[in-house]
Structure 1
């Protein structure tokens, strides 16, 4: 009787069915991702990757008269022991960059 009304009802039912299938797929995907996601409550904090750094040991002079350098992957704030003139001395590694591209290691 009314061809436009019949066509319009067919289009509406097709759009409704497509929306229902899309919502079902979205809900299933979200539930599946929640189920397989690892729990972060029991995991240890991730340590950032370590970088090789060159340090200048402050207030030290090597046999050739230049400052003593130390290379390590330890993070800033670590304490190292380095022998100077046959005696072990402790140095704290810092984040303070020096002009020559190295970082400062302060004596304790």
Structure 2
């Protein structure tokens, strides 16, 4: 009987707790081009973040707040597209 109790305790102690989904998600630094925007020098607006695709961000463009959705679509310059929602 004692062996069974020890075996049960050992097996429950050996089980690792399940990792939370947030801990399993790897954050990747990505550079986004804000479509239909330009910076002060005339180049497209850029945004860098570790947020996952599908996230909606708010960015100031020409003094106005605009919403953009981060997409998984790669562009020719190596950045990803951030689609304007407004």
TM over 0.5: yes
Match of 1:97 in 2: 74
1: CA distance, partners of 2:40 / 2:61: 10
Match of 1:51 in 2: 28
In the TM superposition, what is the alpha-carbon distance from 1:39 to its structure 2 partner?
A: 4.8
User: Deviation string for 1:63-94 (max 9, x for gaps)?
Assistant: 21110000011110101000000000000001
The gaps in structure 2 that reach 5 residues or longer are 1-8
The gaps in structure 1 that reach 5 residues or longer are 1-30
1: CA distance, partners of 2:76 / 2:65: 27
Greater Cα radius of gyration, structure 1 or 2 = 1
Match of 2:44 in 1: 67
Task: Pick the structure with more helix per residue.
Answer: 1
What is the TM-score when the length of structure 2 is the normalising length? 0.77
Runs of 4+ with deviation above 6 angstroms: none
Q: Counterparts in 2 of 1:1-108, with a 5 A limit?
A: 32=10, 34-35=11-12, 36-40=14-18, 44-45=20-21, 46-108=23-85
Root-mean-square deviation (CA), in Å?
A: 2.0
1: CA distance, partners of 2:48 / 2:73: 15
SS at match of 2:27: coil
Aligned residues: 76
